[in-house]
């Protein structure tokens, strides 16, 4: 199993190209199941989760062709992938595949809409909470589907003639359930109105792509989304939006180590709340043509309290990284997690580096310390693992992060991007 060795202490200086967003790419890829034409996605990141979803889609009959990666002078890659699902080969998504990544459960929406039935294993993914699927079940039931749980699988069946548009208000905001409802309702008869919809940029990206495929979706990015069903969708070409979580992660790394880095190919409006928190912590964050420049001062970090919330609030996917930053603040800060009930597994690993964190329910109290010391630590989930990497960059001496397969699910060429900016980071393959 690979490990990552970090020798901390260096400031970060240079340019980091930001990849396409994993959390946009996954639902966009799944949308290819909605049409027999070719969906072409540009700027698809090269990540373990994307590769796994390619396998899953292949199983459903999607023909995939990947254009060679073009490497640009600034070190960025652009990957274009063509997806064609002439006919759906299999409406079952098996446990062996779905258990590895929660988002693969989302195939239930397109399969049900296009084929009238789907049998999908209950999901797996990061162990950051119970992550039920009740909202998917209720939402699809509202569109007329029969939903039955049987032997760890959900059997979903559409009414004769297909799903029927309806009004459905989510009792809780869910990104995944909003994606699935938009995809399913695009091919339903009549109009669907989704209330309390997720407003994340990735929802807007999916809506834009579906509209390019011929769907009639309005209101994405607000909490009410209206979808007028159409009989069929066609192919389209769409560029995956930049990864706001990767952007925020590197911005926090610079704030923590000090230095001057331009994050290229990203957009500040995707993460206003997180950037504001980084500014309040003392780093300078400015927009540049095509990116964001972050100047950090390392030792002058101010304590800032944050609470995770659905978009446009502070993203839960940046909570662990921000906590890492706060471990070096000049004072006490509080981080409150409201989205996932078990998303504090990084606390005990950060403590191994010398962080002083106490947990009380959903709130962590962080007493900043000037000095973190390198130590062996273990990655526990995707975002937690990167918080350990950035803390390691700011710690004295060597930090060895094990179980880095978590990182590979969501961060493209992390070691390379950081090394180009002067960090000492290397992958050790055992």
Return the range that interacts with ligand UD1 (CB under 6 A); candidates 36-44, 132-140, 255-263, 276-284.
Answer: 132-140
Cβ atoms of 111 and 117 within 8 Å: the answer is yes
Tokens of 407: 């990182």
Q: What is the DSSP string of 132-173?
A: --HHHHHHHHHTT-EEEEETTEEEEEPPTT--B--EEE-SS-
> 7-36: which residues touch ligand UD1 (CB under 6 A)?
23, 26
CA distance 309 to 371: 30
CA distance 389 to 400: 9
Cβ atoms of 183 and 31 within 8 Å: the answer is yes
Out of 98, 113, 175, 255, point to the residue binding ligand UD1 (CB under 6 A): 175
Q: Which is nearer to ligand UD1, 142 or 353 (CB)?
A: 142
Q: Which is nearer to ligand UD1, 166 or 384 (CB)?
A: 384
Return the range that interacts with ligand UD1 (CB under 6 A); candidates 9-17, 57-65, 175-183, 264-272.
Answer: 175-183
User: Which DSSP symbol is given to 36?
Assistant: S
Tokens of 88: 């759906």
- Residue 126 annotated as catalytic: yes
Out of 134, 146, 287, 416, point to the residue binding ligand UD1 (CB under 6 A): 134
Q: How far is CA 289 from the centre of its chain?
A: 24
State yes or no: residue 181 binds ligand UD1 (CB under 6 A): no
User: In what helix (H) or strand (E) does residue 76 lie, and over which residues does it extend?
Assistant: none
State yes or no: residue 132 binds ligand UD1 (CB under 6 A): yes
State yes or no: residue 85 binds ligand UD1 (CB under 6 A): no
Q: Which is nearer to ligand UD1, 50 or 163 (CB)?
A: 50
CA distance 247 to 290: 13
State yes or no: residue 103 binds ligand UD1 (CB under 6 A): yes
Cβ atoms of 310 and 199 within 8 Å: the answer is yes
Out of 60, 79, 100, 102, point to the residue binding ligand UD1 (CB under 6 A): 102
Out of 33, 133, 142, 220, point to the residue binding ligand UD1 (CB under 6 A): 133
List contacts with ligand UD1 (CB under 6 A): 23, 26, 102-103, 129, 131-136, 172, 174-177, 202, 316-317, 339-340
Write out the catalytic residue numbers: 126
């Amino acid at each position: 199993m690979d490990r990552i060795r970090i020798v901390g202490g260096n400031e970060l200086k240079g340019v980091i190209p930001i990849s396409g967003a994993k959390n946009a790419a996954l639902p966009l890829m799944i949308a290819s199941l909605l049409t027999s034409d070719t969906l072409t996605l540009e700027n698809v990141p090269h990540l373990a989760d994307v590769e796994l979803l390619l396998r899953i889609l292949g199983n459903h009959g999607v023909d995939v062709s990947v254009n060679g990666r073009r490497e640009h002078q600034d070190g960025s890659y652009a990957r274009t992938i063509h997806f064609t699902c002439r006919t759906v080969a299999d409406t079952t998504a098996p446990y062996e595949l779905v258990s590895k990544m929660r988002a693969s459960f989302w195939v239930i929406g397109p399969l049900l809409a296009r084929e009238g039935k789907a049998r999908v294993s209950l999901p797996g993914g990061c162990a950051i909470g119970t992550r039920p699927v009740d909202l998917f079940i209720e939402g699809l039931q509202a569109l007329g589907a029969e939903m039955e749980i049987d032997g760890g699988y959900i059997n979903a069946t559409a009414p004769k003639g297909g799903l029927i548009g309806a009004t459905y208000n989510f009792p809780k905001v869910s990104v995944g359930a909003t994606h699935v409802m938009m995809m399913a309702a695009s091919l339903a008869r009549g109009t669907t109105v989704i209330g309390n919809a997720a407003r994340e940029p990735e929802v807007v990206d999916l809506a834009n792509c579906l509209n390019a495929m011929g769907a009639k979706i309005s209101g994405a990015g607000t909490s009410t989304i209206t979808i007028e069903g159409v009989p069929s969708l066609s192919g389209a070409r769409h560029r995956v939006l930049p990864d706001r979580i990767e952007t925020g992660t590197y911005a926090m790394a610079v704030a923590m180590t000090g230095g001057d880095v331009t994050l290229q190919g990203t957009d500040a409006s995707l993460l206003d709340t997180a950037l504001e928190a980084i500014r309040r912590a003392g780093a300078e964050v400015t927009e540049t043509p095509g990116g964001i420049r972050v100047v950090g001062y390392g030792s002058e970090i101010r304590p800032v309290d944050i609470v995770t919330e659905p978009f446009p609030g502070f993203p839960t996917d940046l909570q662990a990284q921000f906590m890492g930053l706060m471990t070096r603040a000049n004072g006490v800060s509080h981080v409150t997690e409201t989205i996932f009930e078990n998303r504090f597994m990084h606390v005990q690993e950060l403590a191994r580096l010398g962080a002083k964190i106490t947990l009380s329910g959903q709130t962590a109290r962080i007493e900043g310390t000037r000095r973190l010391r390198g130590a062996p630590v273990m990655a526990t989930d995707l975002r937690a693992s990167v918080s350990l990497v950035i803390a390691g960059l700011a710690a004295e001496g060597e930090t060895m992060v094990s179980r880095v397969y978590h990182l590979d699910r969501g961060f493209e060429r992390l070691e390379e991007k950081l090394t180009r900016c002067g960090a000492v980071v290397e992958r050790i393959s055992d």
